[in-house]
Structure 1
Amino acid sequence: MKLAKIISWMGVGAMSLALFHGFTAGDFFADGGMILDNPWGIVSMVDLYVGFILFSMWIYFRERSIVISIAWITAMMIFGFLTGSLYVAINLGKSEGDWGKFFMGWRSHDL
């Protein structure tokens, strides 16, 4: 579990730096337009959002509160895997070394 924590916090750091670089050195709308003009850019965006949706399904499943689920899922759709990395890091910490609790959330008592 320690390795998973390290990797998830590295993801938070990498995504934070990448987003900072993108917003300070790039033009979100102009660069985004170039991505969507490229067929492989479209493939990449579809791939990315399929991943967001699948990850969001896991968030919805493991959270007890619909409000908290919606907040995390909304953040996921806006900030991408910065949110996913943060969600994993936080919940690895809350799981107290129990992988079942990490993956299942409040449903882990059903195991």
Structure 2
Amino acid sequence: MKVARIISWIGVLAMSAALYYGFTEGNFFVDGGMILDNPWGIVSMVDLYVGFILFSMWIFFREKNILSSIIWTIAMMVFGFLTGSLYVAIHLGKSNGDWDKFFLGTRSDR
């Protein structure tokens, strides 16, 4: 579990740096338009959002509080896997080394 925690925190740092770079050096609307003008850019966006939706389904599965699930999902759609990495890092810490608790969340008590 220690390796997973390290990887998730590296993901948080890498995504934070990448988002900072993108927002300070790029133009979201101009660059985003260029991505959507390219067929492989569209493929990449579909791939990305399918991943966001699947990850968000796991959040809804393991969370007891629907509002918390909604907030995490909105954050996922806006900030991408910065949110996913942070979610994983937080819940790896809360699971205290118990993989069932990590993957199942509130459902692990059943």
Aligned length: 110
Structure 2 length normalisation: TM-score?
0.99
Q: Which residue in 2 is equivalent to 1:69?
A: 69
Q: Which residue in 2 is equivalent to 1:94?
A: 94
- Runs (5+) with no aligned partner, structure 2: none
RMSD of aligned Cα (Å): 0.3
1:70 CA displacement: 0.3
1:2 CA displacement: 0.1
In structure 1, C-alpha distance between the alignment counterparts of 2:74 and 2:87, rounded to whole Å: 13
1:21 CA displacement: 0.1
The 5 A counterparts of 1:1-111 are 1-110=1-110
Q: Aligned residues: percent identity?
A: 76
- Runs (5+) with no aligned partner, structure 1: none
1:109 CA displacement: 1.5
In structure 2, C-alpha distance between the alignment counterparts of 1:8 and 1:42, rounded to whole Å: 27
Structure 1 length normalisation: TM-score?
0.98
Q: Secondary structure at the match of 2:64?
A: coil
